Amino acid sequence: MDIFENMYKTGFVPVVVINNADNAVKTAEALLKGGIDFMEITFRTECAKEAISSVSKNVKNMIVGAGTVINLNQAKEAVEAGAKFIVSPGLSEEVVEWCIENDIPVLPGCVTPTEIMKAVSMGLKNIKFFPANIYGGLSAIKALSAPFGGIKFLPTGGVSEQNLSDFISNPKILAAGGSFVCAAKDIDEGNYDAIAESAARVTDIVRKIRN
Ligand code: 3PG
């Protein structure tokens, strides 16, 4: 099964901001406890690389990727640290080309037909749609799916426990993503039980729709 099939099955990709690499493994374990085996650690903090490396080495059932990857150097650093997939807020040709050459699953952010056409021309079938709540949410994705029937979307930005089922009921949605499952505050304060409980609620929502 390829990583995108797994992502579809899991149905949700937590967007994780780690401020202290020491918290990465416990966060990953809490997500797994709640049934989520994907996490996107964002390159927004100094310790992102260390956090990815530590999850990749110590939490074997977690599929860890890097998010907020905005240049080639970050993509290389993330993969070197053990990232299994790359997510970007927009489409960087050098990042996408390098990932394709190195067989690394990549999800660039695309919200306009022109951006999606670029992704398609580069051979991609999966893209991020960010910020989903600003760019028209599910209605925009439905409209874009008419001309781009072969594309699956990973919407993030404004996804919540309340609207998650609406997103993942649509087969054009690869998975939904968001930070609400493990808010930076909960990670910083070590509220791992809250993270595991929130992940379990998300898992329940997904299981009712996909499996
Ligand atoms: C992202 O990078 O995908 C977003 O910051 C996630 O958005 P959210 O915080 O609204 O979930």
What are the tens digits of pLDDT across the range 153-177? 999 999 999 999 999 999 999 999 9
Res. 191: pLDDT tops 80:
yes
* H or E element, residue 188: helix 184-189
Which of 49, 77, 84, 128 is an active site residue?
A: 128
* Closest of 117, 114, 110, 120 to residue 90, by C-alpha: 110
> Sorting pLDDT into bands at 50, 70 and 90, what band is 1?
low
Q: Which residues have any ligand 1 atom within 6 Å of their CB?
A: 15, 67-68, 130, 156-159, 177-180
94 is catalytic: no
Q: What's the pTM? A: 0.97
HSE (side-chain half, CA atoms, 13 Å) at 3? 19
Q: What distance in angstroms lies between residue 132's CA and the mean position of ligand 1's atoms?
A: 9
